[in-house]
Structure 1
Amino acid sequence: MTRTLVRFAAVVLFWAAPALAEPPPSPILAGGHPLAGKVWAPASGKWLNPQGVVDAALGAGIVLLGETHDNADHHALQAWVVRELAAAGRRPLVALEMVDTDRQSVLDRNIGDTATLGAALDWEKRGWPDWALYRPIVEATLAARGEIKAANLPQDLTRRIARGEQGPEVDGRFGLDQPLPPAEEKALSADIREGHCNLLPDKAVPPMVRVQRARDAIMAEVLADQVSRPEAGPAVLIAGAGHVRADRGVPVRLGAMVPGIAMLTIGFVEVEKGKTDPAAYGEAFGAKALPFDVVWFTGRASREDQCAMMEKHMRKKEETGK
């Protein structure tokens, strides 16, 4: 784990933080679970209040907000965090995993109309959930005179890395020329297998590990570029929870790029029926403890059986040979 991460216990001492401008948004998803809506600090094992979360965010140079992409409550809370930063006089620079860096010019040309921005970016065509879920995050950033940055790998580069054709320059840029520690390689491979319902052939896993590492690296690169701007900030990342976990991914890469930067990782985590011990949720991340500075528990989004859909897709692919 990177030594540059500032744990929650330290940043809550940021005494100058103002009171909340607004309470957190009411849950959109069905409640009823005892953990839903609660906030927890894994390192201390203590429950937190929303003010403590905002204080911690105001004490960080980089705030990483890890989501489940189709969970409406996660996006509502992300937008709320941005609004609270704005209310404290900050100008957040928000980087989006959902937009490839080679589409920054498209983003910039269309940022004036948030209603049609998603269509301009081919948001849903590229597989992301309803643009309406993300639009309030963008609008909160713009209202604060902040900026929106693209932060994902371009598709062409993703394909080249998957095929192992990226070349030494890309390897050096993204750290792919350095092997991961064996335990981390094993854990990341396991995450990818589980994320694909254990249906992937073994040969498909190493290319996906390379791509995941490169995605983490380019997101870190975008954030590192933004923290050098003293007139704005903090830099905020909107990304899947796996990218923002404090023990690997973007935070670790950032720790090497901008040593000493104060980071806060917030994981928005869906509750599970019958699981009421917050510490037990580390299992879902393949860890003994939840790998975030702060965990905000939410309701669980209703979704189709993704594994059944994937199995059907792969069976069809085998039958057609495509």
Structure 2
Amino acid sequence: MPFRVLLVLLMLPILSVQACSAPPTPVIASDHPLAGRIWQPATGRFLSVDELETRLASAQVVMLGETHDNPDHHALQAWAVRTLAAAGKKPQVAFEMIDRDRQADLDEAVHDLDGLGEALRWKERGWPDWPLYRPIAEAALAAGGTLSAANLPADVTRQIARRVEPAEQAARLGLNAPLPEAIAAALADEIRSSHCNMMPDSAIPGMVRVQRARDAEMAETVAALAQRPGPGPVVLIAGAGHARTDRGVPERLRQIAPGLTVFSLGLIETDAAVTDPAAEAPPFDAVWFTGRAEREDPCAQLMRQMKKKSDAAGK
């Protein structure tokens, strides 16, 4: 066999891994100076894609924090799972978007990825189109990995919001211990602002409890998956707020499974007014900046939803 042909054949595995590692071309065009760059807050420098891949592959738990309706975030999540697969991993992917009482439905429908969203009532539950998430699931299964539900069941969420959950449930989720004052205040402020300051003050404590409970439930799911022999790492697909390292799932994991190596990647939309990546000290192990998705004014949308509920209650 000619030497050149032999050399090409020997390089094919390397070339295929490099092809898997190439990040997807963004759907959302952006000329923001941070778009497409990866910032590491701890060192105050930008990472290369290769450096990020190394950090992803060395973690037992990878958190991929998204903005739910940004297609580039889901494309990067699928890329991250494929990158882990190219490194010889078998990612166990857990989804915030699937309540844990739907695991049996997930297991039953997992062989039909096109119909999985419908089987899980994905659209009915208010999540963006299932086809945005499908490549993530496909990448995990193609690598010999697994898919898991991670979030609190809806009935438990309602109990927690009303503070009528069983005492053992509150203890399991860490709700019997108060948050540090600064963290509690920051979380309450974030919830107020994310709801356009339209929620009554009386509703905020319950919403804080629900956020804490969801973080704890996802952390418990992740910890249990990480203890399974064989496949790994565990990859959590969740909103960026749940993937924050100062609170959220990483903080709860430090309490219940302190030995786990966790890497949290925040997929963060650029802000036209912010060009310094360290300006807001983003609370992630790394931040991948992306373009900002076009969307309806969320406050106008929330106002319509609240009016609809009010009208329905008045009938």
TM-score normalised by length of structure 1: 0.90
1:60 aligned residue: 59
Cα deviation digits, residues 73-117 of structure 1 (max 9, x gap): 000000000001001110110000000000000000000010010
Q: What is the one-letter code of the residue matched to 1:290?
A: P
**1:216-231 to 2 correspondences below 5 Å:** 216-231=215-230
Distance (Å, rounded) in 1 between the aligned partners of 2:245 and 2:273: 26
Q: CA deviation at 1:38?
A: 0.6
State yes or no: 1:310 paired with 2:309: no
In structure 2, relative to structure 1, the CA distance for the partners of 1:188 and 1:131 (3 Å cut) is same
Distance (Å, rounded) in 2 between the aligned partners of 1:94 and 1:23: 21
**Does 269-278 or 259-268 show the bigger shift?**
269-278
Which of 290, 304, 319 is matched with 2:282 structurally? 290
Distance (Å, rounded) in 2 between the aligned partners of 1:109 and 1:146: 16
Q: What is the one-letter code of the residue matched to 1:303?
A: R
Bigger Rg, which one: 2
Cα deviation digits, residues 249-269 of structure 1 (max 9, x gap): 100100111112111010000
**1:83-162 to 2 correspondences below 5 Å:** 83-162=82-161
Q: Secondary structure at the match of 2:93?
A: strand
Distance (Å, rounded) in 2 between the aligned partners of 1:237 and 1:51: 21
Q: Secondary structure at the match of 2:21?
A: coil
Q: CA deviation at 1:43?
A: 1.2
**1:259-270 to 2 correspondences below 5 Å:** 259-270=258-269
Task: Work out whether residues 20 and 84 of structure 1, in 8 Å CA contact, stay in contact via their aligned partners in 2.
Answer: no
Cα deviation digits, residues 212-255 of structure 1 (max 9, x gap): 01100000000000111230100010000000000111001001
Sequence identity percentage:
55
Q: What is the one-letter code of the residue matched to 1:234?
A: P
Q: CA deviation at 1:313?
A: 3.1
Cα deviation digits, residues 272-299 of structure 1 (max 9, x gap): 124211122x2xxxxxx11001000001
Distance (Å, rounded) in 2 between the aligned partners of 1:215 and 1:93: 19
**Does 154-163 or 133-142 show the bigger shift?**
154-163
Q: What is the one-letter code of the residue matched to 2:304?
A: K
State yes or no: 1:300 paired with 2:295: no
1:4 aligned residue: none
**RMSD of aligned residue pairs (Cα, Å):** 1.3
Q: CA deviation at 1:310?
A: 1.4
Q: What is the one-letter code of the residue matched to 1:275?
A: V
Q: What is the one-letter code of the residue matched to 1:307?
A: C
Distance (Å, rounded) in 2 between the aligned partners of 1:316 and 1:96: 29
Distance (Å, rounded) in 2 between the aligned partners of 1:179 and 1:167: 17
1:180 aligned residue: 179
1:277 aligned residue: 276
**1:196-275 to 2 correspondences below 5 Å:** 196-275=195-274
Q: Secondary structure at the match of 1:40?
A: strand
Distance (Å, rounded) in 2 between the aligned partners of 1:204 and 1:52: 43
* Structure 1 portions without partners, runs of 5+: 1-17, 283-288
Distance (Å, rounded) in 2 between the aligned partners of 1:313 and 1:229: 42
Distance (Å, rounded) in 1 between the aligned partners of 2:59 and 2:18: 17
Q: Secondary structure at the match of 2:64?
A: strand
TM-score normalised by length of structure 2: 0.92
* Structure 2 portions without partners, runs of 5+: 1-16
